[in-house]
Homo-oligomer: A and B are copies of this chain.
């Protein structure tokens, strides 16, 4: 099979995950194997860095720095939230790719980024520019379709389940806080909220109630559910997804609906749990607290899942391998192999099929009352959080990679 010669570009987009840099590590380490790939560039702040020519040479980084990316949070190349809109935007991208002789473009991101990669790929074909464009999936939300799960989700789930387990023990042993509300990320999909069910070991352990955005939120039923558990065991731990909403679509965190980010999503400020706390204070009157884990859910590399790290590395490396086999316009997927022991392998799907489609929690994995997840959900999540990574420590804390970023000299 014929392979193009030229440079490779890696870019990151959207919110980081604990393992998105492991994917970059996989791309770089695999790309180094092929003589057809000349320079390996990183783009500072995603697609915007490409347009602006803010590219740096990843071959000049120390191999141990690249290797350490496996355990480093954030988006080491620099991420961005920027949606290409006009034809001119796209032409700028193609011109930049041409200018730097980039023939392999690896884009790590979520739904929006796969849409961007798809459009870039198609435009290059229309303009007669030979480009191989591959999507590398990442999202804590786990809402990409056609993949069993997304790199980033397992680590977020492990962090959330651990935090909820520890918060529950704290609440159980010092009963001054009767009601605890934990709010997780998840605008439309409830994977992250649901994963906290992994925290439960004993029957009376929290969380006792979990609310996902897949089921319309009923305020009266919620108050009744909480009151029943409170009356039975004197305390309640509740988990809610930031995106829970009423039957008419109104977000529980109503105050935040006016603020919209560049993609047109509502920018949620973690207000749902505060709204619910105030509701329960009024309706039940027991001492309550709420906890919003904010960006820690996607940045807690110290507590990442090794399974997740390994798979994130794999989808990066496989993107290069598939590209060198002549594929383009595809997103790498994770396929769960059948059998009692968890095992996964890489697959592929057309970017066009992925773009802007969201994968929700199946309704049958949520209980009928809509206030907890069912066993198949738990069995699905459980293997994804396995394995504790090993670190190099300095003065008690993990050492995270910091790229030197040798920017290419502007012509």
Give the shortest distance, in Å, between A206 (CB) and chain B (any CB): 12
Residue from B175, B177, B291 within 8 A of A296 (CB atoms): B291
**Count of interface residues, chain A, beta-carbon cutoff 8 Å:** 67
Contacts of A15 in B (CB 8 A): 174
A184 within 8 A of B: no
Give the shortest distance, in Å, between A291 (CB) and chain B (any CB): 4
Query: Which of the 9-residue segments A52-60, A87-95, A159-167, A223-231 touches chain B?
Result: A159-167
CA distance A198 to B396 in the complex (A): 9
Query: Which of the 9-residue segments A32-40, A244-252, A384-392 touches chain B?
Result: A384-392
Are A170 and B16 also in contact (CB < 8 A) when A162-B397, A176-B81, A305-B396 are?
A: yes
State whether A174 touches B303 (Cβ < 8 A). Answer: no
- CB under 8 Å from chain B, chain A span 299-333: 299-303, 305
A356 within 8 A of B: no
Residue from B163, B173, B261, B291 within 8 A of A76 (CB atoms): B173
A292 within 8 A of B: yes
Give the shortest distance, in Å, between A136 (CB) and chain B (any CB): 16
The interface bits of chain A over 167-206 (1 if a CB of B lies within 8 angstroms of the residue's CB, else 0) are 1011111111100000000000000000000110110000
A398 within 8 A of B: yes
Are A396 and B400 also in contact (CB < 8 A) when A75-B174, A173-B74, A173-B75 are?
A: no
Give the shortest distance, in Å, between A326 (CB) and chain B (any CB): 33
Contacts of A81 in B (CB 8 A): 174, 176
State whether A303 touches B303 (Cβ < 8 A). Answer: yes
CA distance A209 to B398 in the complex (A): 22
The interface centre, meaning the residue of A173, A387, A394 with most chain B CB atoms within 10 A of its CB, is A173
Residue from B78, B395, B396 within 8 A of A173 (CB atoms): B78
CA distance A161 to B397 in the complex (A): 8
Are A166 and B302 also in contact (CB < 8 A) when A79-B173, A396-B198 are?
A: yes
Give the shortest distance, in Å, between A46 (CB) and chain B (any CB): 10
What is the chain B residue whose CB lies nearest that of A269? Answer: B289
Contacts of A111 in B (CB 8 A): none
State whether B397 touches A175 (Cβ < 8 A). Answer: no
What is the chain B residue whose CB lies nearest that of A177? Answer: B295
Residue from B202, B296, B387, B388 within 8 A of A166 (CB atoms): B296
CA distance A63 to B393 in the complex (A): 32
Give the shortest distance, in Å, between A259 (CB) and chain B (any CB): 10
A279 within 8 A of B: no
Residue from B202, B289, B395, B396 within 8 A of A295 (CB atoms): B289
Residue from B16, B169, B302 within 8 A of A400 (CB atoms): B169
A235 within 8 A of B: no
Residue from B45, B158, B396 within 8 A of A175 (CB atoms): B45
CA distance A296 to B170 in the complex (A): 9
Closest CB pairs A-B (n = 5) = A74-B169, A385-B396, A74-B173, A170-B299, A75-B173
* Contacts A/B (CB < 8 Å), 30 sampled: A14-B174, A15-B174, A16-B173, A72-B169, A73-B170, A74-B170, A74-B172, A74-B174, A78-B175, A79-B173, A79-B174, A80-B175, A158-B397, A161-B396, A162-B397, A163-B296, A165-B400, A166-B300, A166-B302, A170-B298, A170-B299, A201-B394, A201-B402, A291-B294, A302-B303, A305-B396, A382-B396, A385-B397, A387-B396, A388-B391
* Additional A-B contact list (7), CB under 8 Å, known A72-B169, A385-B395: A45-B175, A79-B174, A158-B397, A289-B295, A302-B303, A383-B396, A386-B395
- What is A's interface to B at a CB cutoff of 8 Å? 12, 14-16, 45, 72-81, 158, 161-163, 165-167, 169-177, 198-199, 201-202, 261, 269, 289-296, 298-303, 305, 382-383, 385-388, 391, 393-398, 400, 402
